[in-house]
Structure 1
Amino acid sequence: MKMIIAHTPDPDDAFMFYAMFEHKIETSFEYEQVVKDIETLNKESIDGKYDVTAISANGYMHVSDIYDLTTSGASFGLSYGPLVIAKKNIDLKGKVIATPGRYTSAELLYRMFAPEAGEYKEIRFDRIVNAIMNDEVDAGILIHDEQLTFQEKGLVPVLKLYDEWKKYAGDLPIPLGFNAIRKNMPLENKLKYKKDFENSIKYAQEHQDDAVKYAMKYSRYDDFELEKRFILMYVNSLSVDFGDKGREALTLYYKRAADRNIVKPFTPTIV
């Protein structure tokens, strides 16, 4: 049996799938790989196009009738999260804010915790810094490894969404990216896939440098130490199985959005 897995080109995603796609471990299935940015995958998930797909916590609400979340492969920020940046420290209320996509976790977190924007302008995540530099927007929400390089262009952090999350949720990690598996797949196959992916993540954690080198073929920066630093920010103790702590964090994430009347009350389905 062959499964089609769609993931992002972000180094943390590629790192976790390294052992599966490079045949470093034995697997229960043959896996075919599709690589697209997260907002594209959020939108394509509406059609149930892939057996397994990367998805944002926000995007998942729109496809919970098609997919289950898996406890393996999630990106939770233990002390990091999306950043709102600008040319200078500004009051964000009423401003034009660049967002990496309406279905991204980052945009929903902004809506949960930041002052109401005058306009949300959807811009691909790796073009947000330039949009700010070119005065197309007043500020932007940064995700992925751009979080480690924006200051080189003289931009400054205006709001750290992890800090706002921490005030609300205490020491619980901030939910960001997940993997989802087709709901109509037999449970036995879902569990076999999860085991393969858990083993792949563990292998990468045990062979970090090799896995980082593999992930760099998708990287936007030719800097091994930078990419390794980013990967280890988000591939952490919760990535193999996010367990009760991850479930509790997700519950609070969706509760906050519902309490703010941004979304309807929602409970994810998790395997």
Structure 2
Amino acid sequence: MLIAHTPDPDDAFMFYAMFEHKIKTSFEYDQVVKDIETLNKESVDLKYDVTAISANGYMHVSDKYDLTTSGASFGISYGPQVIAKKNIDLKGKTIASPGKYTSAELLYRMFAPEAGTLKEIRFDKIVNAIMENEVDAGILIHDEQLTYQDKGLVPVLNLYDEWKKYAGDLPIPLGFNAIRKDMPIEDKLKYKADFENSIKYAFEHETDAVKYAMKYSRYDDFELERKFILMYVNELSVDFGEKGRKALDLYYKRAAEKNIIKPFKPTIV
């Protein structure tokens, strides 16, 4: 079975036991590693049996894939941030986005006081784009959220805070795993059981799993990567359950209310 995931340490952490044969699995697994916006775009071609995907990107391939309740990244108290060189009014500004299909861009469009002009820049290039005045501000995702202040940049808008005002204590939906819709349900459930066991194993062998994830890391800082991983790999990552379903429903409801998307309901296994 071919699995596509991102080079982000939280993804690698969850897949550690499966790819390193630490657990018994129902299938042999091969992996492809690409950034999230590339995977969002490639999902339309059904290249992979399982793929990482954004909550936003999933809407465009819901006829081809189902979301799985395992492997999701929900922000329980964290989410994308908009940063800049100084505290600015975002109205009319050029904002770097990690991609039009990312959850972060849709959250920005949902909650920013004024959407401004969004310019797509690969997520790990956004800080430099701000520093070089290519854009006025940028939407940060992944580990860069923990390092941008080292370059003197400041937070302008915390999208988790805006989400919390809207959704209360529900977590913010970000990244997911999607499995081919045409796969037999028995195989979907076997895969999901394997992945749940892989995530549980990673929690139980945290240091080893973080060491494995470090080979994909952009920072040679074990404790930084451990902190980032545990921000987004949490109890909802094993099975996001009813809380995750409610959060997803509100995510799509808000986007529809803002006339950004048509009403949408995900298919989940």
AA aligned opposite 2:118: Y
Q: Which residue of 1 aligns with 2:265?
A: 267
Alpha-carbon distance in structure 1 between the residues aligned to 2:250 and 2:116: 26
Stretches of 4+ moved more than 4 A in 1? none
2:116 corresponds to which of 118, 123, 129: 118
Pair 1:92-2:90 in alignment: yes
Alignment of 1:5-20 (within 5 A): 5-20=3-18
Alpha-carbon distance in structure 1 between the residues aligned to 2:114 and 2:14: 36
TM superposition shift of 1:22: 0.1
1:200 corresponds to which of 198, 201, 204: 198
Alignment of 1:232-271 (within 5 A): 232-271=230-269
Alignment of 1:203-214 (within 5 A): 203-214=201-212
Deviation digits for residues 147-205 of structure 1, max 9, x if unmatched?
00000000000000000000000000000000000000000000000000000000000
TM superposition shift of 1:115: 2.2
Deviation digits for residues 88-113 of structure 1, max 9, x if unmatched?
00000110000000000000000000
Q: Provide the secondary structure at the position in 2 that maps to 1:238.
A: helix
Alpha-carbon distance in structure 1 between the residues aligned to 2:10 and 2:221: 14
AA aligned opposite 1:239: S
Deviation digits for residues 237-268 of structure 1, max 9, x if unmatched?
10000000000000000000000000000000
Alpha-carbon distance in structure 2 between the residues aligned to 1:35 and 1:202: 22
Q: Is there any run of 5+ residues in structure 2 with no aligned partner, and where?
A: none
Q: Which residue of 2 aligns with 1:174?
A: 172
Q: Provide the secondary structure at the position in 2 that maps to 1:61.
A: helix
Task: Give the structure-2-normalised TM-score.
Answer: 1.00
Task: Give the structure-1-normalised TM-score.
Answer: 0.99
Deviates more, 1:82-91 or 1:110-119: 110-119
TM superposition shift of 1:117: 3.0
TM superposition shift of 1:119: 1.1
Q: Which residue of 1 aligns with 2:46?
A: 48
TM superposition shift of 1:116: 2.3
Alpha-carbon distance in structure 2 between the residues aligned to 1:158 and 1:83: 8
AA aligned opposite 1:256: R
Q: Which residue of 1 aligns with 2:224?
A: 226
Alpha-carbon distance in structure 1 between the residues aligned to 2:118 and 2:238: 34
Alpha-carbon distance in structure 2 between the residues aligned to 1:263 and 1:117: 15
Alpha-carbon distance in structure 1 between the residues aligned to 2:48 and 2:28: 14
AA aligned opposite 2:116: G
TM superposition shift of 1:118: 2.9
Provide the identity percentage: 87
